[in-house]
């Protein structure tokens, strides 16, 4: 329990630190990785280069600090981050390391303003915040390991099928080499895939959504090839170019909270951009197979016919649904794309399309690149949809779009 004095210091200094966020975080990771290079096996090096993860972590600590006397309000956010941490095997013993370097950085940036009282208060507060994460994550580790077919840490899977889905997306069907059953997972969840890229000093890992439904004799991930110059694409491109049938990949158990809400029967609207289709496809397939009476509209944005993936699968699931509709927007359609006059649109999704297609309150799931998501979220910020539920997931540190 923190003293009233500590809480007062934390609350009054948190905004100052938040303002100096970038200075603090740029100090912090550099020295941490210098002294603890083993952590580079866990962190996404591309996100490090862009400073996104540092900012995400520090912003969360400041936001938590501002709520230090009522940390329970942050639990939903903590759970979302904890899923990512569990998926990446962040363990309790890592927290003091991050704490040490974050506190050092705070001291350096505040300079003389960092009195002993202030420093001690932050040390104490970090301990309390870290403990909240550690407790939530311990529960998740137990749950993942105890589930039927579940496991702890990384487990080896073999690629049993590699399927090209579009010009840039390829699916990998994965089966555990120990022949254990495939665990149940929630449609929308992801796995972390870890690889040792030849010539790289550290292991690389990325999260990929599971794009098929639970209950299949495999886990399926669908991976987008990125431009060679994008550091984010390093693992994805390695999978495309170097991983084939019978090759092995290491995976952690499914994780994530961007999942299908089955607690009510509200109409569902999926809005996906590019490879953002993957978690939504899993959810849509699940609804089609398990609850075909539910109203479902799948709105997808692709560049052109060649980059549109899963057309056949979506067509098939629409035949299962009693009240299903699938619409695709092509931003740069080619002449031979043969757009269907009822279901295919030319151009970007506009506010008027949303108003026209969305006829009732419902649950909206959005997934795609950040500009796409921001645009969709702004379209849905409409008084007529105020009782709707809007859920979204961005591929990358969550704080890039949703401050705590
Ligand atoms: C991701 C916060 C401690 C490793 C994140 C994210 C946040 C965050 C907000 C982004 C989540 C997302 O993308 O959904 C925190 C806070 C911590 C903490 C507030 C302390 C109280 C740690 C520790 C480690 C760690 C101790 C391990 C040494 C990571 C990694 C990622 C991550 C590897 C993913 C980064 C990436 O994709 O580049 N954390 N974290 N975090 N965190 Fe933490």
Residues in the chain: 404
| CA–CA separation, 391 and 150 (whole Å) | 27
* DSSP calls for 146-188: HSTT--SS-EEEEEEEEEE-SSSEEEEEEEETT-PPPPP--TT
State residue 10 phi and psi, 5-degree precision: -60, -45
The string of pLDDT tens digits covering residues 293-315 is 999 999 999 999 899 999 999 99
- Which residues have C-beta within 8 Å of that of residue 283, sequence separation ≥ 6? 187, 188, 259, 260, 268, 270, 365
Per-residue model confidence (pLDDT) at position 334: 86
Which residue lies with its CA nearest to atom 21 of ligand 1? Answer: 130
Per-residue model confidence (pLDDT) at position 402: 40
Residue of 89, 90, 235 to mutate, ligand 1, most atoms within 8 A of C-beta = 90
For residue 41, the CA-to-ligand 1 centroid distance in Å is: 14
State residue 344 phi and psi, 5-degree precision: -115, 135
Nearest Cα to 243, choosing from 265, 225, 258, 257?
Answer: 225
Q: What is the pTM of this model?
A: 0.92
For residue 306, the CA-to-ligand 1 centroid distance in Å is: 36
| 179 touches 121 (CB < 8 A) | no
The 10 Å Cβ neighbour count of residue 315 is: 11
- Considering the candidates 137, 165, 226, 232, report the single residue annotated as catalytic: 137
User: What is the band of 395 on the pLDDT scale with cuts at 50, 70, 90?
Assistant: low
User: What is the band of 398 on the pLDDT scale with cuts at 50, 70, 90?
Assistant: very low
The string of pLDDT tens digits covering residues 137-186 is 999 999 999 999 999 999 999 999 999 999 999 999 999 999 889 999 99
| CA–CA separation, 327 and 358 (whole Å) | 12
Report yes or no for ipTM above 0.95: yes
For residue 78, the CA-to-ligand 1 centroid distance in Å is: 10
For residue 401, the CA-to-ligand 1 centroid distance in Å is: 15
Residue of 255, 397, 401 to mutate, ligand 1, most atoms within 8 A of C-beta = 397
Tell me the two tokens of residue 33.
């990785």
For residue 351, the CA-to-ligand 1 centroid distance in Å is: 35
DSSP helix/strand/coil, 403? coil
Per-residue model confidence (pLDDT) at position 190: 96
Per-residue model confidence (pLDDT) at position 403: 35
Per-residue model confidence (pLDDT) at position 53: 67
The string of pLDDT tens digits covering residues 17-61 is 888 777 777 778 888 999 999 999 998 776 666 666 667 777 788
| CA–CA separation, 29 and 36 (whole Å) | 10
Report which ligand 1 atom has the smallest distance to the Cα of 46: 38
| CA–CA separation, 129 and 79 (whole Å) | 13
Report which ligand 1 atom has the smallest distance to the Cα of 48: 38
The 10 Å Cβ neighbour count of residue 304 is: 15
Which residue lies with its CA nearest to atom 42 of ligand 1? Answer: 85
Nearest Cα to 224, choosing from 48, 10, 395, 404?
Answer: 395
Pocket (CB within 6 angstroms of ligand 1): 39, 42-44, 47, 53, 56-57, 60-61, 80-81, 84-85, 88, 90, 94-95, 98, 129-130, 133, 397-399
Residue 210 DSSP label: B
| 102 touches 108 (CB < 8 A) | no
The string of pLDDT tens digits covering residues 174-215 is 999 998 899 999 999 999 999 999 999 999 999 999 999 999
Specify whether 392 is catalytic: no
Average pLDDT, the chain: 89
DSSP helix/strand/coil, 47? helix
How far is residue 253 from each of residues 98, 150, 236, measured CA to CA in Å? 24, 6, 19
Per-residue model confidence (pLDDT) at position 48: 62
| CA–CA separation, 383 and 368 (whole Å) | 24
Which residue lies with its CA nearest to atom 33 of ligand 1? Answer: 43
Specify whether 269 is catalytic: no
Tell me the two tokens of residue 106.
């705070």
For residue 85, the CA-to-ligand 1 centroid distance in Å is: 6
Per-residue model confidence (pLDDT) at position 52: 65
More confidently predicted of 386 and 374: 374
What is the chain's Cα-based Rg?
Answer: 22
Per-residue model confidence (pLDDT) at position 394: 66
Tell me the two tokens of residue 384.
């007529």
The string of pLDDT tens digits covering residues 96-133 is 999 999 899 888 888 888 899 999 999 999 999 999 99
Residue 345, pLDDT above cutoff 90 = no
For residue 81, the CA-to-ligand 1 centroid distance in Å is: 7
Which residue lies with its CA nearest to atom 7 of ligand 1? Answer: 57
> By mean pLDDT, which of 79-88, 201-210, 231-240 is the weakest?
231-240
- Considering the candidates 29, 95, 126, 238, report the single residue annotated as catalytic: 95
């Amino acid at each position: 329990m923190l003293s009233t004095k500590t809480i007062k210091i934390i609350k009054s200094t948190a905004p100052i630190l938040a303002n100096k966020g970038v200075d603090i975080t740029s100090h912090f990771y550099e020295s941490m990785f210098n002294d603890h290079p083993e952590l580079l096996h866990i962190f996404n090096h591309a996100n490090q280069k862009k400073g996104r993860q540092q900012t995400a972590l520090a912003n969360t600590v400041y936001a938590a600090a501002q709520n230090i006397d009522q940390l329970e309000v942050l639990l939903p956010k903590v759970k979302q981050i904890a899923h990512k941490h569990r998926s990446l095997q962040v363990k309790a013993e890592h927290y003091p390391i991050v704490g040490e370097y974050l506190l050092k950085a705070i001291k350096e940036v505040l300079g003389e303003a960092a009195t002993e009282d202030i420093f001690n208060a932050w040390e104490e507060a970090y301990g309390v915040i870290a403990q909240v994460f550690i407790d939530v994550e311990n529960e998740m580790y137990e749950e993942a390991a105890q589930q039927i077919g579940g496991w702890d840490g990384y487990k080896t899977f073999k690629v049993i099928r590699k399927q090209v889905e579009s010009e840039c997306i390829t699916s990998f069907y994965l089966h555990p080499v120990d022949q254990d059953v495939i665990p149940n997972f929630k449609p929308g969840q992801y796995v972390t895939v870890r690889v040792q890229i030849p010539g790289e000093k550290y292991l690389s890992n990325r999260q990929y959504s599971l794009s098929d439904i639970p209950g299949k004799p495999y886990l399926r991930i669908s991976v987008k090839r990125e431009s060679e110059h994008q550091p984010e694409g390093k693992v994805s491109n390695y999978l495309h170019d170097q991983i084939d049938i019978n090759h092995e990949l290491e995976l952690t158990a499914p994780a994530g909270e961007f999942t299908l809400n089955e607690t009510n029967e509200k109409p569902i609207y999926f809005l996906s951009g590019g490879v953002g289709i993957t978690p939504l496809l899993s959810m849509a397939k699940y609804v089609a197979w398990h609850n075909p009476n539910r109203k479902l509209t799948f709105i997808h944005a692709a560049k052109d016919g060649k980059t549109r993936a899963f057309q056949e699968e979506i067509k098939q699931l629409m035949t299962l649904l009693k009240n299903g509709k699938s619409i695709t927007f092509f931003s740069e359609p080619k002449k031979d794309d043969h757009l269907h006059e009822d279901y295919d649109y030319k151009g970007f999704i506009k506010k008027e399309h949303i108003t026209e297609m969305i006829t009732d309150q419902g649950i909206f799931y959005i997934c795609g690149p950040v500009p796409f998501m921001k645009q969709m979220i702004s379209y849905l910020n409409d008084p007529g949809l105020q009782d709707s539920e809007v859920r979204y997931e961005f591929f990358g540190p969550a704080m890039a779009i949703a401050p705590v």
